[in-house]
Amino acid sequence: MKTKYLQFNDKDLTAAGELIRQGELVAFPTETVYGLGANAFNVNAVKNSYSAKGRPSDNPLIVHVYDKSQIYDIAREVSSDAEKIIDSLLPASLTIVLPKRDVIDDCITAGLDTVAIRMPLSVQARKFLRYANVPVTAPSANLSGRPSPTTWQRVAEDLDGRIAAVLCGQPCGVGIESTVLDLSRDEPLILRPGIVTPQEIQSVLHKKVTVVTDPKAIVNSPGVRYKHYAPRVPMALDVSGDADKLARYYDELTRKGYNPVLLVEHPEAFGGRNVRLIGRADEEVARSLFENLRVLETQFDYIIASFSSKTQFAESILNRLTRSAGHNII
Ligand code: AMP
Ligand code: MG
């Protein structure tokens, strides 16, 4: 199939909305990463989005909306906690999990009786969703397992010829996926950390919010099990920031014949070696993380990342880095 590259003007947005309603796949920008959109009310379209990405069918999708009223069309129950979050935090880089209505097919939720819903902060994303005028399922617009795309060019790299259209919007400002908050049970649970921190959620709910640290133990967020965000070359992760240790690890790899690169917070400490800045502030690290991995995998044959920030937001970056490195922590 020939993929169309569409712009943010009325004519192209109308075409994008029409494609979605007809059951075609359209990639679009959000503030977190680019999403691969399908009409949530069209089972074939949703199933095609799994196959275009090569995504396992037991990894549920997030349904995207542009208006808060749409949440009530797809969620069967909106608890008072959920109402508080909807009223005071949305739109945001935050996904909420609620009991689902029957209009949401099992293929979206991988058979769960809950549905994940997000109203993105990105004005471009909500504009596209408004033109689509149906709820839109959207996993990240990459081949399954690869680092998520934060520019339309990266979407093209993975999905050109496999989907109907790409909406060419801005690069993503946040750079990592939304926080996933399960509000379908008595106790609020963060299933995936993101830029919206437990503290922010707690300050709205006035109750303890538990962060699930071992998602493998949780049956109800299957997707967190899978290999994810991985570059094409081996990767190691250090969380101490110890420059001597990193230099030793690098030198050992070069002795073994590798051409490695250090992706670190303080590049000035590694004279003579291949080295790149991972970012000065957490926000910058997140924004450029997946793009860094996609660039470095083409230039080097081993990535050694180091990230030692200990803020609440840093937790979400560490979560992605750990999985990119396939849990190879040094
Ligand atoms: P992605 O589309 O790759 O950002 O992944 C979406 C993630 O949201 C999934 O991998 C799950 O971890 C989570 N998710 C989606 N739907 C549900 C649900 N009904 N219950 C719990 N977690 C969900
Ligand atoms: Mg993804």
Q: How confident is the model at residue 225 (pLDDT cuts 50, 70, 90)?
A: low
Q: Does the beta carbon of 129 lie inside 6 Å of ligand 1?
A: no
For 127-200, strand residue ranges (E) read: 136-137, 165-167, 179-182, 189-192
Atom from ligand 1 closest to the CA of residue 62: 15
236 CB-near residues (< 8 Å, 6+ apart): 249, 302, 303, 304, 305, 325, 328, 329, 330
Coil, strand or helix at 263: strand
Q: Is the pLDDT of residue 283 over 80?
A: yes
Q: Is the pLDDT of residue 214 over 90?
A: no
Q: Does the beta carbon of 184 lie inside 6 Å of ligand 1?
A: no
Measuring from atom 17 of ligand 1, which residue has the nearest CA? 116
Residues 227-250 have pLDDT tens digits of 688 999 999 999 999 999 999 999
Instruction: Look at residue 228 in the predicted model and tell me its pLDDT.
Output: 81
Cα R_g (the chain), whole angstroms: 20
Q: How confident is the model at residue 58 (pLDDT cuts 50, 70, 90)?
A: confident
Q: Is the pLDDT of residue 160 over 80?
A: yes
Cβ-based neighbour number of residue 111 at 10 Å? 11
Instruction: Look at residue 53 in the predicted model and tell me its pLDDT.
Output: 96
Backbone angles phi, psi at 257, to 5 degrees: 100, 5
Measuring from atom 6 of ligand 1, which residue has the nearest CA? 61
Spatial distance between the Cα atoms of 89 and 304, rounded to a whole number of angstroms: 36
Q: Does the beta carbon of 60 lie inside 6 Å of ligand 1?
A: yes
Mean pLDDT of 19-31: 98
Cβ-based neighbour number of residue 160 at 10 Å? 13
Q: Which ligand neighbours the alpha carbon of 221 most closely? A: 1
Q: What percent of the chain has pLDDT over 90?
A: 92
Q: Is the pLDDT of residue 223 over 70?
A: no
Tell how far the Cα of 61 is from the centroid of ligand 1, in angstroms.
Answer: 5
What 198-201 contacts at long range (C-beta under 8 Å, 24+ apart), as own/partner pairs, is 198/312, 199/312, 200/89, 201/85, 201/89, 201/94
Mean pLDDT of 44-58: 94
Backbone angles phi, psi at 192, to 5 degrees: -145, 125
Mean pLDDT of 316-329: 94
Q: Does the beta carbon of 261 lie inside 6 Å of ligand 1?
A: no
Question: Identity (one letter) of the amino acid at 198?
Answer: P
Instruction: Look at residue 296 in the predicted model and tell me its pLDDT.
Output: 98
What is the side-by-side order of every strand in the sheet holding 179-182? 4-6, 165-167, 26-28, 35-39, 136-137, 62-64, 114-118, 94-99, 179-182, 189-192, 210-211
In terms of Cα–Cα distance, which of 149, 85, 147, 148 is closest to 118? 85
Instruction: Look at residue 217 in the predicted model and tell me its pLDDT.
Output: 62
* Lowest mean pLDDT, pick from 84-88, 185-189, 275-279: 185-189
Q: Is the pLDDT of residue 159 over 60?
A: yes
Q: Is the pLDDT of residue 95 over 60?
A: yes
Question: Do 52 and 46 touch, CB atoms closer than 8 A?
Answer: no
**Greater model confidence, 312 or 105:** 105
Measuring from atom 21 of ligand 1, which residue has the nearest CA? 221
Q: Does the beta carbon of 62 lie inside 6 Å of ligand 1?
A: yes
Q: How confident is the model at residue 224 (pLDDT cuts 50, 70, 90)?
A: low
Instruction: Look at residue 148 in the predicted model and tell me its pLDDT.
Output: 96
Tell how far the Cα of 129 is from the centroid of ligand 2, in angstroms.
Answer: 19
